[in-house]
Chains A and B, each alone.
Chain A
């Protein structure tokens, strides 16, 4: 009976340890995380905000569509795997032209952030964040 318990515990431990190892491994690859603040106001007009201190998309009505580019640069001396993720209230409205790519030393990649405002979006200012995760491309 005790042997059965031990085997069950051992089996249960396998996915648990594998998951923890996987997460730890992924985390160990991260070299740097950059955050890009993204801003949009939903109102009854179309308006520009070209200020490039953050990823401003201006003012759009419900159902509106805007896009803006940003460039990811690898200033390091080694190749990086780049992963991008959007967080915040605009997460489901935003599509990125690239979500993961590889950058060699000194190279860059331009990414377009497209935002489609839903027809039932509440009229107010929205802030979200694009995370740019630099990961080691080799051990």
Chain B
């Protein structure tokens, strides 16, 4: 086989491969497109744009390790035995009450609250939602089972020094945006009564600080177990906080 023949064979190989691949790719492209669209414009002058949502959501996973001293383990009310005469009311901020009388429940020494900070540089409104509402959290024939929350401000300095309880959720000054005289925190217990997925108000105008401080708020949890509560396996609730940019 002379050099010319060799060259022609290789050239033919390259051309056939090149052409075959291109044709195949074009055919595949046609097949893929017809699955999705039936018609399109003829111009190829596409321009893309990306819009980043003004909301971000954080799912609180209470089994994490390595958290700060405020929140180092589950808020676990333990196993509770209903009273015959009156409802059991137990709140997370009574967790260090070692006598057990506050709830007839076995849980003890769990974190008093969930601590959420604003570590960014934009003020935010915060909502909270649960994947388990009060009806599913406690099975009861009556309507007095409750699983709820409330919030307060919490603030620490740059070195985690003593809390000062300033900043955190501040009443919005712009009544056109915010709900008039509504408080910045949820000062009374609110029951997660509604269907899961509903976003409940948690903190209005969680401020940010350029001075190294970390404005924050705390969420306390509350459970009311009625006298007719039915026994159940352990029930857990996953809390999702959503922060929305205030612009």
Contacts and interface: CB of A to CB of B under 8 A. Distances in A.
A51 B246 CA distance: 9
Contacts of A69: 53, 55
Nearest to A1: B1
Given A48-B56, A61-B64, A71-B53, A76 B45 contact: yes
A57 interface: yes
Interface string B10-25: 1001100110111001
Contacts of B164: none
Contacts of A56: 56, 120
B65 interface: yes
Interface string A11-38: 0011001100110010000011010100
A55 B234 CA distance: 36
B48 A70 contact: no
The contact size tier of chain B is 35 or more
A18 B14 CA distance: 9
A96 interface: no
Query: For chain B, what secondary structure do more than half of its interface residues adopt (helix, strand, loop), or is it mixed?
Result: mixed
Given A6-B10, A44-B68, A45-B67, A75 B49 contact: yes
B58 interface: yes
B243 A61 contact: no
Interface residues of A, number: 68
Contacts of B122: 49-51
Nearest to A19: B21
Q: Which among B32, B56, B116, B121 has the greatest number of chain A C-beta atoms within 10 A?
A: B56
A18 B21 CA distance: 6
A55 B245 CA distance: 13
A47 B120 contact: yes
Interface in A41-67: 41, 44-67
A50 B56 contact: yes
Contact of A132 (B9, B50, B68): B50
B132 to A, nearest CB: 17
B244 to A, nearest CB: 7
A94 interface: no
Given A17-B14, A50-B244, A68-B57, A78 B52 contact: no
Contacts of B90: none
B47 interface: yes
Interface stretch (B34-42, B78-86, B143-151, B176-184): B34-42
Interface of B: 1, 6, 9-10, 13-14, 17-18, 20-22, 25-26, 29-30, 32-33, 36-37, 40-61, 63-68, 71, 114-122, 124, 126, 206, 214, 241, 243-245
